[in-house]
Amino acid sequence: GQSLEQPSEVTAVEGAIVQINCTYQTSGFYGLSWYQQHDGGAPTFLSYNGLDGLEETGRFSSFLSRSDSYGYLLLQELQMKDSASYFCAVKGSYIPTFGRGTSLIVHP
């Protein structure tokens, strides 16, 4: 089976940097994805790491270490609109499995 662990909640102030960690246990690992979901909305894709290292997309970066079964999402220059839930997901064979999500609260 597959399981993922991520913190349930993270708080930060506007303009700061925050890191959301994700550890996973899975068979047949192919990659780690991150999704953002605002209250009442649909999850939207942020990033994907198929190989070890850092992927950068604007203010968001994602990191993967396959040897440690660990990844993180880094959000820089936080804005109020970044308040949302963030999910990591592992891709094993055809089936993406999601973590329970991290609620990010950004304070002014």
Partner 1 sequence: NAGVTQTPKFRVLKTGQSMTLLCAQDMNHEYMYWYRQDPGMGLRLIHYSVGEGTTAKGEVPDGYNVSRLKKQNFLLGLESAAPSQTSVYFCASSRSGGAALGELFFGEGSRLTVL
Could you tell me which stretch among 15-23, 26-34, 65-73, 74-82 binds partner 1 (CB under 8 A)?
26-34
Query: Is beta strand 102-107 parallel, antiparallel or unpaired with respect to 9-13?
Result: parallel
Q: Is 62 in the site for partner 1 (CB under 8 A)?
A: no
Q: Judge whether 77 and 15 are in contact, CB under 8 Å.
A: yes
Q: Shortest gap between Cβ of 2 and partner 1 (angstroms)? A: 9
Q: Is 9 in the site for partner 1 (CB under 8 A)?
A: no
Q: Is 44 in the site for partner 1 (CB under 8 A)?
A: yes
Report CA torsion sign: 90, 8, 15, 36.
Answer: positive
Q: Is 41 in the site for partner 1 (CB under 8 A)?
A: yes
Which one, of 12, 27, 32, lies nearest residue 79 by Cα? 12
Q: Shortest gap between Cβ of 75 and partner 1 (angstroms)? A: 19
Please name the helix (run of DSSP H) or strand (run of DSSP E) that holds residue 63, with its range, or none. Answer: strand 60-65
Which one among 17, 56, 59, 100 touches partner 1, defined by CB under 8 A?
Answer: 100
d(CA 31, CA 21): 15
Q: Which residues are near partner 1 by CB under 8 A?
A: 8, 30-33, 35, 41-45, 48, 50, 87, 89, 91, 94-101
